[in-house]
Amino acid sequence: MQKYTSAFLFFFFFIIYSQQYNIQSYNTDNGLPQNSVKDIIKDRYGFIWLTTENGIVRYDGMKFLVYRNLPLNSQRFRYFYGSPEKDSIYTTADYAKTVLIHQKSPKVIRSIKKNSHFIFKDHMNYFLYSSNYTYTTSPGMNLYFPLKEGTYFIKQNSLQYIDATSKKEENLNIKAFYKNIARIFVIDKSVFFIDYQSKNIQKIEKGKIADYYHEPLLTDIHSKVYWSLINNQVFIINKNSIYRCQYEGNTLKVTKLVQLDDIAKNIISIYYDTVYKKLYLGSSTNGLQIISFPDFVTIQRPPSKPESVFYNTLPYSHSSVITTFGEIYDRNGLVEDKKFNSIVPFFMAYDEKRNIIARKASDLITYQKKSYYTKSTFKKKFDLVDFFSDAQRYYALELQPKKSGTPAYSGFLLIYEDLSFNSLKKKFFFNNEPVKALKFDEEHILVGTTKELYKVSLKTNKILQLNPGNELSIRSIIQSKDGNFWITTLGKGFYLLKNNRLIKMPYDTNNNISSSHTILEDSRGFFWIPTNNGLYRVPESQLLQYVRNRKLKVNYYRFSKDSGFKTNEFNGGSNVCGNRLKNGEFVLPSLDGLVFFDPLKVKSYYPGNVYIERAVIDNKEQYFDKILNLKPESNRIDIFIDVPYYSNPDNLIIEAKLSGIPNANWEPIGKDGKFSISNLSYGNHSFVVRTLISDKGEYIYKKIHIIIPPYFYQTVWFKIFLSSIILLLLYFLVKWRIHFLEKKNHELEEIINSRTKSLSDTVEKLEITKIKLHKEIEQQKKLIGTITHDITTPVKFIALTAKEALNRNGFNEQHREKILNSIYKSSDQLYNFTITLKEYADIYTHHRSDKTELYSLHKLIEEKKILFNAIAENNNTLIINNVDKTLWVWISKNILSAIVHNLLDNSVKFTKDGFITIESHAEGNTITLLIRDTGIGMDEKKIEYYTKLQDNIENEKLLLQKYGMGLHLVLQLLQMIEGKIVFKKNKLKGTSFKLILTNKKND
């Protein structure tokens, strides 16, 4: 299992006065697992790898990643071999175990022939020869190294070559070893042999000597040669100096890199990074030293002089500057000393004749160019702080102590008519100490004080304050090549002056640019801004883009002590805080030396790639590729962003953004390269990292997915299921409630309907009863009227006949019989009429009180048949009952019985020697009862009368006396059971009575 340790770097700088370089030292105190660095290499991804006796180490420029828990018996590693270009770097541990470094991670593999660290040939072992300073041979040990065209085999006194294609052998009789170290090295696939005896370097091609070279450093027996096949690099250490040997244009070229004091004796591995210009030295006892070769040169005053604190300087020659000490320096050191005496270090300027104007206390002193600045003139009590001129005028800022007795100052802008300080034309007063002035245009001058920035009009003599309500301590006013005016301040950053308005520029990450001394612009449009903590560079175009869009980010590139400064604190507060020389170099004064550099040769270093492939989840490491799968119970997640970067870490801009969290914004990643997440919710999250890769503000982006599966109760299906259950419960609850309410409503409706129906039925019954009563009353009125009318005649006849009998004393027998016969007939008629009325009354009473019942119609007819059989037999008449025996009816039995009785009675009376047939027919609720006889039949007038009476029984006059009571009663009874009768005279003889009845149950 692999395990890593990460340490923040502690830089140790050792300054050597003879050369400009920095050394960073690392050991077990600050990141290494062991102090013996056996070999050094850089892989194709940009990471530096080290082998030690306690693990393999990966270095990315800021932290060490240590692998020392590989599945091996020992963690003691030696040299590297293989091919970084093919992402196949090998190393061996004790007991001949092979480790492959592939895709930025080491793993133990089975040894393979193609990349074996030793082979067996001709009964002898040959060990891989890929480095001559990490592998010490023993007497009799044999070595080999493969090249593309063939393989070389090294013995003590011979060199054998076997061609890879033809297998042809070539042998050279040379003494290959010196003090058990092979004297053979390879550069760019060319093999070289160091011949100490002839003092030559022999070039060998395909086993034969092809050329000779003379290089004293290589043939010096005191030189120590360091060669690495996998790095394709050769170094020479001689007298504590390190040289690099290259083969270019068929020539061996040796270049001195650095001279060290006593450190070279412990070196056992070397690697030079050509991209970052860094030399890596591995020691057998002191760990790792990294030597940087900066583009900046810091010049200090000679040791005999006081401290090297510089403020104002002026360009002197095309490559040098002169200081207020009168000392002239270039990038190599002190050139000449004019020995200025007691000059104020904050002010110095050239006049139009190239004379140097300076201040001595409160007096103005001028060093004459014609005397090579050895003679001077004075002007008493002229306390200048800034000065410039144009073709016609002098412009000067003069200090004046305030009268209050405090150490505060006010001041003046003085404008002289000619190029001297004698003809004063205008004078402008400022209540605070003026520090800087610059011509804005032909009519305006910009003046900065310790609190304000002013624009002075030479035409109107008006002074416009440009920073009302915002106190600014002005440091410098600069006009860029494109005409923009930039204002630097103490403590509040720098500003762009546009349309009489100050636009503040953003700060850097550490807010160091808040105290900006000045701005120097190079030919590429970059601003160089010295501050109290480092030197910053930024394109002016990026600042102007920010002015147009404040959401854009400004990236400042920082240079600090590891770039070649003796201190990070540059000095300001003078009228000139930096110089641009004719040779293109810039010179900046600092708290410890003058910094020389060519802005066009200073390289910016940005990372080439970013890798997100490892994380620590709840204190357990995990490696992944593009997708990080986590468990839902994972609590703390540390994602590591690995960026190989070997320059100032302040310029490594890494930002990350995680989706799925509130207010996800770009967050800066610290120097530990770690992004921490706590309690991330389940789902598919995107983790995006961007890294700045150019001065133009370009980024590279890398994205990974973080997948956290939900708990079962967080899944969509569970939520759907739970939602379905809840909805189902709500549905059933609502349905139950609706059903409950419906039931209640239904019950209420039933109650209401029942009561309504009852009331309706009652009303309906009452209405029907009312109608029936009305009809009955009307019929009864009519019947009573008719009866009254019809009964009057017989009663009157009986009364008259009785009166006649009483009035006469004597009747003959015939006459008396006639009177009695008349009285009898009238009385009998009256009796029968009365009996009929009684039957009608009885039936009507029973019909109103009795409920209907189900009975057999055939049986009812049979009963009536039996009743009339005796009379029918006397008349020699046969009654035939053909009514359906299965027919059961609900029709009122009393009424139907009375109707049938009357009809049969008439048929029997008027039928002799014939037949009376009764038949039935049922269709739905309608029953037809047909009674046919063969009697004398009804005449047409009666049929017409009864038919008309049935259709308009309420209005027709009843002719009871004429037609009798029987059929009138039948019609009345049929009306009560909603029935009808059809009278029809038979074709032959007799009459048919067709009863149409409704068969329904009446409550």
Read off the pLDDT of residues 112-143 as tens digits, 9 standing for 90 and up. 666 677 788 888 888 888 887 655 556 667 89
Which amino acid would we find at residue 459?
K
Percent of the chain residues past pLDDT 70, beyond the cut: 88
Helix (H) or strand (E) holding 115: none
Q: Which of 209, 220, 257, 219 is nearest to 235 (CA)?
A: 257
Residue 3 pLDDT class (50, 70, 90 cuts): very low
Strands 208-213 and 363-367: unpaired
pLDDT tens column, 509-534: 999 999 999 999 999 999 999 999 99
pLDDT tens column, 543-573: 999 999 999 999 999 999 988 899 999 999 9
pLDDT over 60 (residue 959): no
pLDDT over 60 (residue 637): yes
Least confident range of 476-480, 708-712, 864-868:
864-868
pLDDT tens column, 310-361: 999 999 999 999 999 999 999 999 999 999 988 999 999 999 899 999 999 8
Question: Can you give the pLDDT at residue 944?
Answer: 82
Residues 6+ away with beta carbon under 8 Å from 181: 132, 136, 137
Q: Which of 390, 336, 379 is nearest to 357 (CA)?
A: 379
Residue 4 pLDDT class (50, 70, 90 cuts): very low
Question: Can you give the pLDDT at residue 644?
Answer: 95
- Mean pLDDT (the chain) is 86
Residue 252 has a CB neighbour count (10 Å cut-off) of: 19
Question: Can you give the pLDDT at residue 1?
Answer: 38
Q: Which of 856, 878, 859 is nearest to 868 (CA)?
A: 878
* Distances in whole angstroms, Cα of residue 229 to Cα of each of 18, 87, 152, 186: 32, 15, 13, 7
pLDDT tens column, 392-441: 889 999 998 887 666 788 999 999 988 888 889 999 999 999 999 999 99
Spatial separation of the C-alpha atoms in residues 850 and 488, rounded to whole Å:
124
Spatial separation of the C-alpha atoms in residues 187 and 228, rounded to whole Å:
9
Output 489 or 826, whichever has higher pLDDT.
Answer: 489
Pick from 368-372, 784-788, 908-912 the range whose average pLDDT is largest.
368-372
Tokens of residue 19, six digits: 């050369």
Output 781 or 750, whichever has higher pLDDT.
Answer: 750
Question: Can you give the pLDDT at residue 918?
Answer: 93
Residue 9 pLDDT class (50, 70, 90 cuts): very low
Q: Are 715 and 724 in contact (CB under 8 A)?
A: no
- For the residues 932-940, what does the mean pLDDT come to? 86
pLDDT tens column, 796-854: 667 767 776 676 655 567 777 777 776 776 676 566 656 666 666 666 565 555 566 88
Question: Can you give the pLDDT at residue 381?
Answer: 85
Question: Can you give the pLDDT at residue 11?
Answer: 32
Tokens of residue 823, six digits: 């009285």
Question: Can you give the pLDDT at residue 614?
Answer: 92
pLDDT tens column, 267-277: 899 999 999 99
pLDDT over 50 (residue 195): yes
Task: Indicate the angle between helix axes 893-909 and 857-874, nearest 10 degrees.
Answer: 20
pLDDT over 60 (residue 759): yes
Residue 936 pLDDT class (50, 70, 90 cuts): confident
Pick from 263-272, 882-891, 969-978, 981-990 the range whose average pLDDT is largest.
882-891
pTM: 0.71
pLDDT over 70 (residue 6): no
Strand pairing partners for 426?
415
Percent of the chain residues past pLDDT 90, beyond the cut: 50
Least confident range of 154-158, 845-849, 942-946:
845-849
Residue 989 has a CB neighbour count (10 Å cut-off) of: 13
Spatial separation of the C-alpha atoms in residues 642 and 624, rounded to whole Å:
13
Tokens of residue 632, six digits: 């839902």
Q: Which of 323, 447, 315, 434 is nearest to 385 (CA)?
A: 434
Question: Can you give the pLDDT at residue 86?
Answer: 93
Least confident range of 583-592, 655-664, 682-691:
655-664
Strand pairing partners for 280?
271, 290
Least confident range of 222-231, 299-308, 544-553, 802-811:
802-811
pLDDT over 60 (residue 726): yes
Question: Can you give the pLDDT at residue 466?
Answer: 95
Helix (H) or strand (E) holding 908: helix 893-909
The half-sphere exposure of 624 on its side-chain side, counting CA atoms within 13 A, is 20
Question: Can you give the pLDDT at residue 19?
Answer: 57
